[in-house]
Structure 1
Amino acid sequence: MADDDVAPRTASAYLDPTYWDERFGKEEHYEWFKDFSHFRHLLAPLLSPSISVLEVGCGNSRLGEELLREGVAGGITCVDLSPVAVQRMRDRLAEQGAEGVDVVVADMLDLPFEGESFDLVIEKGTMDVLFVDSGDPWNPNPETVDSVMKMLEGIHKVLKPEGIFVSITFGQPHFRRRFFEAPGFTWSVEWSTFGDGFHYFFYTLKKGKRSSESNCYQPTLPAAPSINMFHEELESEDYIFRTNVDEL
């Protein structure tokens, strides 16, 4: 399926649930921000056979199957807002005879799980959808801020006391740390990069490990510098997360 067959006309369409149902009805597989092989060296050290994992916004990614192959046996739960995506993933797993992955229809802003349910929560490009209509990335509109904080609060809640949240994204630290380090979150914030030429960001947030030095949350960010963040090596649909600050 060609990218033009599934890409929306405007970035704001990514916020419309009906768009995703239509897309997942046509598209077999797509990996936002690279597939597992590109960041395995960063994620594998966080895995063990006994851990329970939640993937938020699984879409038609194959990350769940990759985690099974890595030996995760404590339970893998994949959630997505689209019933179409969920059913197609269930069908795919059944065809493979794969066991150990539970696929659930759920809203990332209202996760239907008890507190302290998971050792590891992963989101790959899911939170970025909330920013497609955010306005100035240095000072997102209040609706975007509310949605991002609601998502993070839900993830913090379902993590076990020493659980880990992994966020894989295009968003750079000067845009994301303000959210990750908000009051009430007890996780430490670290990040690495991966990718050739253009780098994606792999955030590792360890619950209960926050130091006093991390408590630098700011409700707003400094005035935007004159920078241009366009990059020609972004493949296919990842273009929606390019940011040209000069034109804001």
Structure 2
Amino acid sequence: MDADQNPKASEKKTIGPPTTSAYLDPHYWDERFSDEEHYEWLKDYSHFRHLVQAHIKPNSSVLELGCGNSRLSEGLYNDGITAITCIDLSAVAVEKMQERLLLKGYKELKVLEADMLDLPFSNDCFDVVIEKATMSSENICTFNFLVVKEVLFVNSGDPWNPQPETVTKVMAMLEGVHRVLKPDGLFISVSFGQPHFRRPFFNAPQFTWSVEWITFGDGFHYFFYILRKGKRSSADEELNQSHDKPLVPTISMFHEELEGEDYIFRTNIDEMD
């Protein structure tokens, strides 16, 4: 069966830009979303649905960052979480997402053009903020075999010592998320970014949230981070200081892991010669 007869195969035909720096160019995303109907970075919702159901209540107000053309919001909606606001920097993505959701009858879902580095929402207005592969780090695995690419950390340099511009962007995003969350709100981040590289950002002194994570997935480990606003403790500080070695996911992969764009851009080709 060829790609035209197999919808899943056609979805996997997506090929990324010639350089990862293009991910920072809004024009790249507008052009891509003009032609692409759907693409899931990392795993789709079905793979971490059980984790979402354990942490998000159906009556929660949810903000999704960098929705693109993902079906994450649709998965949440079908599980009874209907108060959802999705944002993306690409006007093309927003328009196409609005059309798609309207056609499917998901009238309650809001899709807005907005920058996650400058969230246009009032303080303490969301129960949950969730993102998938929008903010993470270029974590280098043992033997420099893998490079994990997620948007804010493109061109970040050494993952142990990111460029100042990268740090500024990541902190702007986290400060905005912390601000719009209700006092007991939840920030959920789904990522390849390993805890060793995430904790220095999450545990910055201006944040009051606790930090925990759950791994899921076969072959490569994906991380489901749960940050609870107002729940930080001295134990969180001690945990952050006690881990001085990165948690390295296994290199074994199943066939489906090799086909997606997220794998292509976490492979350091120069190191494989």
Query: TM (normalized to structure 2)?
Result: 0.82
What stretches of structure 2 of length at least 5 have no aligned partner?
Answer: 1-9, 136-149
Provide the C-alpha distance between the structure 2 equivalents of 1:145 and 1:168, rounded to a whole number of angstroms.
19
Code of the aligned partner of 1:40: R
Provide the C-alpha distance between the structure 2 equivalents of 1:76 and 1:113, rounded to a whole number of angstroms.
14
Distance 1:134 1:217, change over 3 A: farther
* Paired residues of 2:30 and 2:90 also in contact (CA < 8 A): yes
- Of 195, 203, 227 in structure 2, the residue corresponding to residue 181 of structure 1 is 203
| 1:87 corresponding residue in structure 2 | 95
Give SS of 2:27's match.
helix
| 1:203 corresponding residue in structure 2 | 225
Give SS of 2:48's match.
helix
* Paired residues of 1:193 and 1:202 also in contact (CA < 8 A): yes
Give yes or no for the alignment of 1:29 onto 2:38: yes
Between the two proteins, the alignment pairs up a number of residues equal to: 242
* Paired residues of 1:24 and 1:84 also in contact (CA < 8 A): yes
Provide the C-alpha distance between the structure 1 equivalents of 2:157 and 2:252, rounded to a whole number of angstroms.
20
Per-residue displacement from partner, 1:204-231 (whole Å, max 9, x unpaired)? 000011111222698xx97x98x89866
- Of 84, 96, 105 in structure 2, the residue corresponding to residue 97 of structure 1 is 105
Provide the C-alpha distance between the structure 1 equivalents of 2:22 and 2:97, rounded to a whole number of angstroms.
23
* Paired residues of 2:221 and 2:249 also in contact (CA < 8 A): no
Which deviates more from structure 2 when the two are superposed, residues 3-12 or residues 42-51? 3-12
Code of the aligned partner of 1:138: W
Distance 1:98 1:179, change over 3 A: same
Distance 1:83 1:228, change over 3 A: same
Code of the aligned partner of 1:30: Y
| 1:114 corresponding residue in structure 2 | 122
Once the two structures are TM-superposed, the CA of residue 16 in structure 1 deviates from its matched residue by 0.6
Superposed CA RMSD in Å reads: 2.5
Give yes or no for the alignment of 1:17 onto 2:26: yes
* Paired residues of 1:57 and 1:79 also in contact (CA < 8 A): yes
Which deviates more from structure 2 when the two are superposed, residues 46-55 or residues 235-244? 235-244
* Paired residues of 1:178 and 1:217 also in contact (CA < 8 A): no
Distance 1:241 1:118, change over 3 A: farther
Provide the C-alpha distance between the structure 2 equivalents of 1:80 and 1:192, rounded to a whole number of angstroms.
26
Code of the aligned partner of 2:48: F
Once the two structures are TM-superposed, the CA of residue 5 in structure 1 deviates from its matched residue by 4.9
Once the two structures are TM-superposed, the CA of residue 49 in structure 1 deviates from its matched residue by 2.6
